[in-house]
A and B are shown apart, each in its own frame.
Chain A
Amino acid sequence: MNFAVKDHSQRSLLEISLAFNPELLREFFFRRQGIWRYGYIVLADCALLLLCCAKQIVLPHYFPEIPCYAAVLLLAYLGSRRALAWSLLLAVAGGILLDSGNFLPLGPSSLLLCLLVYLAFLQTGGSGPQKHPALLSLQQCLCATSIFVLLNLLFLAGSLSWTARLALLPRQLLLGVLVNAVFAGPLLFALLDGTERLLFGQAAGSAGEA
């Protein structure tokens, strides 16, 4: 299909040519790896973000002794598996969810989560499948959890004295890293990768695929 813009002497000023590839279009709309995968990514990521942010808001009431950062782990996963723009958009949205649920002014959590997503993206390296995905997921969760806790204690701890902030470090940092980075994070990564592999029959790639 050709479109052309011509002047008064019938010379083409602008020509546009459209070509449709029926095979590729059929593949895109009717195969699992096509539009359905994009739909799954959008819906699943949004639903998981809502659930994980809600978990992070609600869990301290039922498990005050165990720090669990579900939203941080999910965003570390998204930073390593999805396109950077999409992950950052979800990070801003997740930060708004966390700030609204905690009755805080909007902005600090969004900024913090954007930083975590970018660090997870940098650690992945933006390239193909990794040699040691389990170790990489552990490293990303460790980095995300530590930075989240430290920045929260530094900037978002309200009127706590420095002594009280230091006193919180053993539980929030050490135990938090143990629970989140060593146990929950790799488990979450494996679960989400496995679900994607099960549904779409291919290895979940690194950042840039979505």
Chain B
Amino acid sequence: MSSIPDKLFLWLCFCALSLSLFFLPAGVQERIQGTVRFASEPGKCLAAITARMTREALGGLPENMSVAERDALLQELTSARQRAFIAEKKIYGLQKNNDYLQYLLRLSKLPEQPHVLVVCEVIKRNPLSDYYGTLLINRGYSDGLKAGQAVRSVEGLVGVISETSAREAVVTLLGSAKFSLPGKIAGKDIRGIIHCPADYAPAPAILGFFPPEYLTLYSLSGDSFTSVEIEDQVVTCDLAGGNLVADIPIGIIRKIETDTAGACRYQISPAAALGHLNFLLVAIPK
């Protein structure tokens, strides 16, 4: 029988093999991850089916929803999406007419970028870390999703897509320390960068942890800083390029500050809650 030092050497060899995975180039890692995710799809489908059946047998879906409540929520989300779509279509029509009239009056203006909303289901949120930092949705680049696209709930923006695979995408939520986004104050010509603050407000250490209380809008550009008031709405802007749809509500201004350099800085209360997210909408620009 092999002695303990032989087994220890064997274990050290496998630890070295595991450590070598850290040093693989990023492209090789992505290919391996893609292959492994493809190979594990049947297992994940079977696991999801059995887990869902068990959960329903034990009295409901996540967050203790019954089947009837889940159907009601789905219907509510679908009708909210339909209303949003109809309203946006109407606004789009009016905007097109407006653009045409402005063109006739030689006051041409770039039309707002139209977009479509894709309903996605939240399939994973890690309770061990980053519960309010990232989540996984069940659509990927095969459904037209790309990194940088806005993800919203009925109330407003909840995050931005950071990574996609064929059938899944990782969303960086408002509560992540890595979250940053260009934003503007609706109705006023002020744009800036929105960050989640690195230091959260002190919270009691009970089970779980809190989402961020506020976001910060700074690095401002514009010329009407004195016209900003409390409860002004902050929305997304397309400063970063074609993937982010503009005018999605992010939150409202709750406090106006001045930093040490004398520049204005605004605290924003997020419009969308990050607690119970089952279905989300991804705004894909056309």
Stretch of B33-41, B86-94, B236-244, B264-272 with 4 or more beta carbons under 8 angstroms from chain A: B33-41
Q: Are B7 and A121 in contact (CB under 8 A)?
A: yes
Bound-state Cα–Cα, A91 to B190, Å = 53
Contacts A106-B32, A114-B18 known; A55 to B51 CB distance under 8 Å? Answer: yes
Q: Which residues does chain B contribute within 8 Å of A51, judged by CB atoms?
A: 43, 46-47
Q: How far is the CB of A124 from chain B (nearest CB, A)?
A: 11
What per-residue 1/0 map shows which CB atoms of B190-231 lie under 8 Å from chain A?
000000000010010111110000000000000000000000
Which residues 36-61 of A have a CB within 8 angstroms of B?
Answer: 50-51, 53-55, 57-61
CB < 8 Å neighbour of B129 from A50, A53, A67, A160: A160
Q: Are A53 and B206 in contact (CB under 8 A)?
A: no
Verify if A135 is at the interface (C-beta below 8 Å from B): no
Interface band, chain B: 35 or more
With both beta carbons as reference points, the residue of chain A lying nearest to B54 in the complex is identified as: A62
Verify if A89 is at the interface (C-beta below 8 Å from B): yes
CB < 8 Å neighbour of A54 from B21, B47, B127, B133: B47
Interface band, chain A: 35 or more
The binding surface of chain A is classed by DSSP as helix
Bound-state Cα–Cα, A90 to B48, Å = 23
Stretch of B8-16, B69-77, B99-107, B252-260 with 4 or more beta carbons under 8 angstroms from chain A: B8-16
Q: Are A170 and B130 in contact (CB under 8 A)?
A: no
Which residues 155-202 of B have a CB within 8 angstroms of A?
Answer: 163, 170, 176-178, 200
With both beta carbons as reference points, the residue of chain A lying nearest to B35 in the complex is identified as: A100
Given contacts A53-B43, A167-B208, could you give 14 more A-B pairs where the C-beta distance is less than 8 Å?
A61-B122, A61-B125, A62-B62, A63-B51, A67-B127, A67-B128, A102-B126, A103-B163, A103-B170, A106-B21, A106-B24, A114-B18, A158-B133, A167-B209
User: Which 7 pairs from chain A and chain B are nearest by CB?
Assistant: A54-B43, A107-B21, A110-B18, A100-B36, A88-B14, A54-B47, A157-B129
